[in-house]
Amino acid sequence: MNTVLARFNILAGKEAEAQEAIKKQAASVESAEPGALAYIFHRNRKNPTEITVFEIYKDDEASAAHRDAEHMGTFRSYFGSLFDPDTVKIDRLERIAGFSR
Amino acid sequence: MNTVLARFNILAGKEAEAQEAIKKQAASVESAEPGALAYIFHRNRKNPTEITVFEIYKDDEASAAHRDAEHMGTFRSYFGSLFDPDTVKIDRLERIAGFSR
């Protein structure tokens, strides 16, 4: 299981378009990537332009499928126009303990 | 739904004890907090002493039950002996889009 925490900021004035792009991306991952077990976009309650994505992939193959997906290319293309590429932070995580239900 | 991202570091040399405390805390939340929908501890693959907890509570009542739980008091008491209190970062998040399955 591969867990990823991705963070980046929405560019000023691009909130509405960014929200549309985010919703479309979430729907594409859900329908086209069976190996994506979780893919959840959040805004920070204190700073709503700060986006956090919590992602779980079944295995390395599912991670690779995500990276190479056409919708991922589209979403990536918004960095610069909707999202600030200088704010991107990607953390690869390993589960120690816990549950979801 | 209340989502929280909590981050903190394990103190040097305390990895094994910290892992025990983490496993016990995850088990206590799972068994004693029906309003906790997810509670997952991770280590950062690049820096294994950096812990990230992804938490989802059903509502404000479930968040309050977590804050006031006896096991949470026990876990909190490890900050200073197992976990570095100066590294704690808590982000309160709001879900925009996405899924888990």
- pLDDT of A46: 97
Residue B10, domain member (yes or no): yes
pLDDT, average across residues A94-100: 97
B66 contacts on A by Cβ (under 8 Å): none
Q: How confident is the model at residue B57 (pLDDT cuts 50, 70, 90)?
A: very high
Residue A8, domain member (yes or no): yes
Residue A15, domain member (yes or no): yes
CATH number at residue B32: 3.30.70.100
- pLDDT of B94: 97
- pLDDT of A89: 98
Q: How confident is the model at residue B87 (pLDDT cuts 50, 70, 90)?
A: very high
- pLDDT of A70: 98
Of the partner residues B23, B30, B93, the one whose CB lies closest to the CB of residue A44: B93
Neighbours of B70 (CB within 10 A): 9
Assess contact for B8 and B84: CB atoms under 8 A: yes
Assess contact for B12 and B100: CB atoms under 8 A: no
Residues 6+ apart with CB under 8 A from A59: A1, A2, A35
Three-state DSSP at B72 gives helix
A92 interface with B at CB cutoff 8 Å: yes
pLDDT, average across residues A19-48: 98
Residue A100, domain member (yes or no): no
Mean pLDDT taken over chain B: 98
Classify the phi-psi angles of B3: left when phi > 0, otherwise alpha if psi is within -120 to 50, otherwise beta.
Answer: beta
Percent of chain B with pLDDT over 70: 100
Residue A19, domain member (yes or no): yes
pTM, to two decimals = 0.95
The domain of B57 spans 2-93
Residue B98, domain member (yes or no): no
Residue B15, domain member (yes or no): yes
Burial call B6-23: b when 16+ CB within 10 Å, e when fewer: ebbbbbeebeeebbebbe
Closest CA to A5 of B77, B94, B5: B5
Domain count, chain A: 1
Q: Tokens for A26?
A: 């979430």
Which of A20, A29, A54 to probe by mutation at the B interface, max B CB count within 10 Å?
A54
Residue A101, domain member (yes or no): no
A1 vs A88, residue with greater confidence: A88
Three-state DSSP at A48 gives coil
B3 interface with A at CB cutoff 8 Å: yes
CB-based contact B97 A51, cutoff 8 Å = no
B87 interface with A at CB cutoff 8 Å: no
Interface list for B 4-63 with A (CB within 8 A): 5, 19, 22-23, 25-27, 29-30, 37-46, 48, 51-54, 56
A94 interface with B at CB cutoff 8 Å: yes
